[in-house]
Amino acid sequence: MEPAKTFEDLIVWQKAHQFVLNIYTYTQKFPREEVYALTSQFRRAAISIPTNIAEGFKERGLRDKARFLNIAQGSLEECKYYIVLSRDLNYGDNMQLKLLGEEVSRVLDSYYNTIVKSSNRFLSILLSILPF
């Protein structure tokens, strides 16, 4: 598999972007009084997921890359709460959104773990060739 050239090539970003588009569609049906409350918060948290994946894409250091991915994970958890809240407020069926959020979470965790493992392998190789 060829390495990603841009953040748009990342499956995790593609899934997160689709999640945002679905949230926009879902929140369009919210009551008007939620425009500056739940709708705005929900959308901001959702947008933060692919945004932080994109920001972390070009980061060279593991610490910086991991920080951006952790922020994306936190924003996803925030969205999961908004899904529960909007369901409990009877703002419409959101099972598809919940399932997509869980899928994004799995792919994001996998991406994060792959980056950490590859960094650990590199560090292991580097330590094995350095004279001490």
Segment 68-90, tens digit of pLDDT = 999 999 999 999 999 999 999 99
Q: Is the pLDDT of residue 111 over 70?
A: yes
Please report whether residue 108 resides in a domain: yes
Please report whether residue 105 resides in a domain: yes
119 — pLDDT class (breaks 50, 70, 90): low
Tokens of 41: 């918060």
| pLDDT score for 126 | 43
Angle at CA of residue 62, ends 57 and 68, nearest 5°: 50
Please report whether residue 39 resides in a domain: yes
Please report whether residue 1 resides in a domain: no
Please report whether residue 65 resides in a domain: yes
Asked if residue 12 lies in contact with residue 56, where contact means CB atoms within 8 angstroms, the answer is no
* Count of structural domains within the chain: 1
Please report whether residue 106 resides in a domain: yes
Q: For residue 22, give Cα distances in angstroms to 2, 52, 59, 98, 106.
A: 29, 18, 28, 11, 18
| pLDDT score for 16 | 98
Segment 106-110 mean pLDDT: 96
- Which domain range does residue 109 map to? 8-129
CATH number at residue 100: 1.20.1440.60
Q: Is the pLDDT of residue 125 over 70?
A: no
Segment 21-54, tens digit of pLDDT = 999 999 999 999 999 999 999 999 999 999 999 9
Please report whether residue 2 resides in a domain: no
